[in-house]
Amino acid sequence: MTNKIIKTLILDKSIRLYFTDNTKMLQEIMELSKIKDKTCYLALAKAVSIMSLLSVTLKDNQRISAVITLTDKNYKMYADTDAEGNVRGYVNQALLKAPQQKNSNSTLQDFIGTKASIRIMKGFETNHFTGITDMPYQNLDDDFAYYFKQSEQTDTMIQTKVKLDSVSYLFKSYGIYAQALPGAEEGALDLVREQFEAENLAPLLLSMNDAGIEKALNQRFNSCKVLEHKPIQFACHCSKEMFYGFLYSLSIDELQKTIEANTSIDTKCHICGRNYVFLPSEIQTILQTR
């Protein structure tokens, strides 16, 4: 059951509980990210895993995107998703090229630092809400939960587990998201967190069918129900139009030269690796509008 979010209601419909094995999707995204630094790799993987869980909280053509600015403000990580479960994630060029952490044991906490922030944009193309919070926990999971508490006044519990193999390749990823609904008892989310941690419950549940999941959940939490499975996948929304901006950034002289040499300009999306080629005739059109 990979690349699907399992949506459930537990504790007498007072808690929304979503969980996923998003290993395949994350492997694809992390491969494209080209990140060499292990801690940076882990951080992006966790951020993207969190985003994939948030996709099921969206409706219609809503989108949610997060920008994580590390303590060193030059370094940023991006992750976004939509209601269709399309997920992306990448880091900026400065972070990609940053000197690798010398100490291979450097922690996520050190990597994020004490002055990092999360900025989240949520809504529709034309109408969205932006919120920003700092990252007091320096571990992403609790920082995102903190964001939802501060900006949307919702009590949320987020847990992501990312396992790397001996060559720092992602080989397993799980994510759990729980949200308290009106009527949830005080401390209910802590109970869910403790139970999942104590038993490593996510992989167990993900190995079961719906009937098995409901039975296993009912043994631990009251009156549980599996609602649906929602697919998630890596998808980049880039288009050729987005790369016209790059061409506009070139000088008239440079554009003129490529036309004279009858060569095309190749551009590449650094998120998905897709190539966009601009033919001399298209470059001519750009020149005419300048």
Q: Catalog residues that contact Zn ion under the rule CB under 5 A.
A: 236, 238, 269, 271-272, 274
Q: What minimum distance in Å lies between the beta carbon of 277 and Zn ion? A: 14
Question: Please, where are the H alpha helices in the chain?
Answer: 23-33, 38-54, 93-96, 108-112, 141-152, 188-199, 201-206, 210-220, 244-248, 252-260, 280-288
Candidates 285, 266, 264; CA nearest to 275 is 266
- What is the CA 77 to chain-centroid distance, rounded? 10
Q: What minimum distance in Å lies between the beta carbon of 236 and Zn ion? A: 3
Q: What are phi and psi of 116, to 5 degrees?
A: -80, 165
Q: Which is nearer to Zn ion, 108 or 272 (CB)?
A: 272
Q: What minimum distance in Å lies between the beta carbon of 243 and Zn ion? A: 10
| Contacts with 68 (C-beta within 8 Å, 6 or more apart), sequence order | 43, 47, 76, 77, 78, 79, 112, 116, 117, 118, 119, 135, 140
Q: What minimum distance in Å lies between the beta carbon of 272 and Zn ion? A: 3
Q: Which is nearer to Zn ion, 177 or 276 (CB)?
A: 276
Q: Which is nearer to Zn ion, 15 or 238 (CB)?
A: 238
Q: What minimum distance in Å lies between the beta carbon of 172 and Zn ion? A: 26
Q: Which is nearer to Zn ion, 178 or 238 (CB)?
A: 238
Q: Which is nearer to Zn ion, 66 or 238 (CB)?
A: 238
